[in-house]
Amino acid sequence: MTITEFLKARIAEDEERAQRVRRYGLDGGGGFFGAGRVLGECAAKRAIIETQSVPKIVAVPNPFILRALATVYADHPDYRQEWAL
């Protein structure tokens, strides 16, 4: 599994949880910790990953960016120590 695949899988899990929270009305109004913020964060992370994987967007991908995003999921069993900052 590449770091990009790992990140996309974790983001999909976060998004599914946030959608479930919203679907069952547990969002609490969508404030700072609400599902809406999590869904927005998922979209932002996907956009960042995309800029690192499409050569036309960025001349030289910066592996630090993907490693920084992956750090949030360091306790996940699929996380690799080689991705640590």
Q: Are 18 and 38 in contact (CB under 8 A)?
A: yes
CA 7 to chain centre: 6
Model pLDDT for residues 47-80, shown as the tens digit of each residue = 999 888 776 666 677 889 999 999 999 999 999 9
Single-letter amino acid, residue 56: K
- Please report the pLDDT score of residue 69 as a whole number: 95
Say how far apart CA 43 and CA 84 lie, in whole Å: 23
Q: Considering only residues 45 and 25, tell me which one the structure prediction assigns the higher pLDDT.
A: 45
Domain boundaries, given as residue ranges, for the chain: 3-83
Single-letter amino acid, residue 20: R
